[in-house]
Amino acid sequence: TPDDGAVEIAGGGFFGSILDTDGREKDDFQLLRKYRQISQQPECDAAVEDIVNEAVVADNNDQSVSIVLDRLPYTEKIKRKIRNEFDEVLSLLDFDIKGHDIFRRWYVDGRIYYQCVIDPSDPTAGLQELRFVDPLKIRKVRERKKPDISIPKEATLKKDMSGEYYEYYLYSEKPVSKQGNTIGTSDYSKKQIKIAPDMVAYAGSGVTNAGRKMVISHLHKAIKPLNQLRMIEDSLVIYRISRAPERRIFYIDVGNLPKMKAEQYLRDIMQRY
């Protein structure tokens, strides 16, 4: 079961391709915004800071993360190359300085994307830059292959139990409104740029919803208690404000006394207290 949160599109003609309409499209973006709002709450912010500080250890003498290849069945020469490339990636990410922010972003959003930039004139030179991409603006798409459609040049052809499919990423400068309505592939692609899967580095939280279709953040379990906390705080403030003037008011019941006797009774009570 794919657990990378990709949108599945049925391949086909001009009007044949549809997005699934179970509301997941809309929820992905709403959830991301919800997670970011949650992380702004003081209690959640303090908890996330504690978690990030425990996870990313700052050390002046050594880097905070390293790669262990003890159980890899390869020669020391290959392992040395892997370690060197790992260090190269860390330097491209500027991990010693930005490691805390990178981990926090991943922890709050539940996913992180980087565009891998290479030099087109000299691809053998390797990675030149890693650019962070806002998860609201990019998403992975899995398109089922039909016999009569041509292969998109950005896509990668893969195979699973239910047949062949293409994988690619769609990027949009503005977050596209996901209403879950049926739109053609040509219509869908006009608004967005297709990116080959090997040009994007993606890491999900590893946590999925009950249907195993949507990647959720580790902060997801904080939504309910945080909503309850906000409701309690608001209701408590409203209750205390509304009760405050009542503490200085005396309700004097005069029943059906005549006006003169009622005023006299009221004055007696006032003098007594």
DSSP 218: G
Across residues 7-29, what is the average pLDDT? 53
| Burial class of residue 113, CB neighbours in 10 A (0-12, 13-18, 19+) | buried
Instruction: State the CB neighbour count (10 A cutoff) for residue 225.
Output: 11
The model's confidence at residue 43, banded by pLDDT at 50, 70 and 90, is very high
Distance of CA 47 to the CA centre of its chain: 17
Q: What is the pLDDT of residues 224-246, one digit of tens each?
A: 999 999 999 999 999 998 888 76
Beta pairing class for 163-171 and 156-160? antiparallel
Which residue type sits at 176? V
pLDDT given at position 1: 58
The model's confidence at residue 117, banded by pLDDT at 50, 70 and 90, is very high
The model's confidence at residue 151, banded by pLDDT at 50, 70 and 90, is low
The CA distance from 101 to 106, in Å, is 9
Across residues 208-218, what is the average pLDDT? 85
Per cent of the chain over pLDDT 90 is 48
Which residue type sits at 240? R
pTM: 0.74
The CA distance from 217 to 192, in Å, is 25
Q: Please state whether 270 falls in left (phi above 0), alpha (psi between -120 and 50) or beta.
A: alpha
